Amino acid sequence: MAKKKNLMTFNYQIGSFSDKEVGKFVILLSGKKIAYHVGEYEVKMEEFLGRLSNESNVLINVKTGDYKQSYLNILGYFKSFLVKHKKVGYLIDYDLEDDLSFSIANAIYSFIKSAVAENGGGSVRLKNRLMTKDKTLLRNVFIKKGGIYIVTGGTGGIGQKIVNYITAMGGVPVVLGRSSTLVVKDDFVSLPIDITERNKLGSELRKYGVDRCHGIFHFAGSISDKLILNKEERLTNVILSKVDGLLNLMNCCSDFEFVVLASSLVSIAGNIGQSDYAFANGFLNGFSQIKSLKENFATFSLLWPFWKYGGMKMDLKEQETMQNITGLEPISDEEGLKILFEGKKVLGCTAVLGGHLEKAYDWINSKGKVVLDEL
C-alpha cells in the first residue's frame, strides 16, 4: 500500500459464478470457429440473437489459444448483438490447462465490459479458478546495478520515466520501439524494432547481446477510440502492440527474473469506445495471473489509472468529468514510480486507485462483481 492517503494499491481479482447460473445459451470459441448453441442444438447467430431476452445468461466457453481469431469472432458477434440492444448477462469459462485460453477469457471479459458500457446495461462475469488472497505473493521490483532491462514504450510518457529510473539505479535500459533511434552504449541501448515482428525482434536482440536480460517492462500501447459498431473487423495496433508484443518478448528473451505489464483500470471498468484497448489489457491481466499463480513466476500486471504526465493525454475538462463520475484523480510521475519500484505488488494483478478512494472503490464495484483486497 502506498503511504499517501489518497493513493492505494489493491490485489485485484474477478468475481466468479456458479454452474447453476448457466442456462441454455452457449457460445463456443474453438480453434478459428465460433459456434452458437441453444440447448442441445447448434444454430446460426441470427436465431441465437433472436431467442435472447433481457433475462438470459449467455455462457462463452473459450476452448482455443488463438487470441486473434477470438477477438475477430467476438467483435463480429457484438457488432450484431449491439444492434438488438438487449441487456443480457455473460458468463465466461475457459480451459484451465491452456494458459492462452485463460488469457483470452480475461481479454473477452474486459472487451464485454466496454460492450456493456456502450449498450447501457448487461453484465459479465468470469469463472476465476485462480482466485487467491495469499499475501505471501507480494513482491517488489528491484533494479540490479549493471542489469539489463527491456523497456517497450520507452520513447515517451511513462516508459521514458522508467528508463530514467533504471539508469539512475545503475541498470542498463534497452528501449524497443518503432520510433526508437539506434543507440548502442555500455549503459544504454535503443533499438528501432517493431515488437510485433517476432523473427526480427529475436535476431536484433541476439545481434546486440541483450536477449538475455534481468527484467522486462512492457509498457507499449496506444488507443483508438471508436464504438464497437464502427470498429473494423481486423486486428489493430492497439491489440497487437500489447498482446503480440508480450508473447514475442517472452519467446525472444531469456533469463529474466520478472515481467511488469502496463494494464489499465479500463480492463475491469470498461469504457465507451475502448473495447479493443480493454481486450488487450484484459489479456495482460490473464497472462500475469496464470504465470504467477500457476507457474510461480514473478509477473505483475498493473492496472493504472490516468497518469497526469503520461503519454496518453486528457484535457482538463475530461479530467474533471472523470473525477466527478469515478472519484479517480490523475497520478503524478512520483506516485506512479513509487508504486512501480517501491510499493508492494501482488503477483498477478494490482489495481492502482488515486483520488477519492471510497468513491473510486464504489465506482469500480458498481461495474460488476470484482474483489479488491487492500495490500
List helix spans (H) across the chain.
45-51, 67-84, 99-119, 157-168, 198-207, 237-252, 266-269, 275-289, 295, 316-326, 333-341, 357-366
Tally helices (H) and strands (E) across the chain.
12, 18
Handedness of CA 264, 120, 21, 274 (dihedral sign): negative
Question: Using CA atoms, how far apart are residues 58 and 22, in angstroms rounded to an integer?
Answer: 7
Helix ranges (H only) for 147-302 are 157-168, 198-207, 237-252, 266-269, 275-289, 295
CA distance 105 to 341: 29
**Rg from Cα positions in the chain:** 20
For residue 18, CA distances in Å to 23, 113, 121 come to: 11, 20, 21
**266, 278 in Cβ contact below 8 A?**
yes
| Cβ-based neighbours of 173, under 8 Å, separated by 6 or more | 149, 151, 154, 162, 163, 166, 167, 188, 189
pLDDT, tens digit only, all 375 positions of the chain: 333 447 778 777 777 888 888 989 999 999 889 999 999 999 999 999 999 998 899 999 999 999 999 999 999 999 999 988 788 999 999 998 888 999 999 999 999 999 998 988 888 999 877 655 555 567 788 999 999 999 998 776 788 889 999 999 999 999 999 888 999 999 999 999 999 999 999 999 999 999 999 999 999 988 888 999 999 888 888 999 999 999 999 999 999 999 999 999 999 998 999 999 999 999 999 999 989 887 888 999 999 988 876 656 566 777 787 788 888 888 888 888 988 998 777 788 888 888 888 888 888 877 766 777 776
* pLDDT of the residue at 135: 52
Cα three-residue angle 103-75-370, rounded to 5 degrees: 45
Exposed, middle or buried by CB within 10 Å (0-12, 13-18, 19+), for 3?
exposed
Q: What is the pLDDT of residue 1?
A: 36
Task: Extract the C-alpha cell encoding 59.
Answer: 455462457
Question: What is the three-class DSSP state of 77?
Answer: helix
Q: Which residues, in sequence order, are CB contacts of 66 under 8 Å at separation 6+?
A: 31, 32, 100, 104
CB atoms inside a 10 Å sphere around CB 181: 10
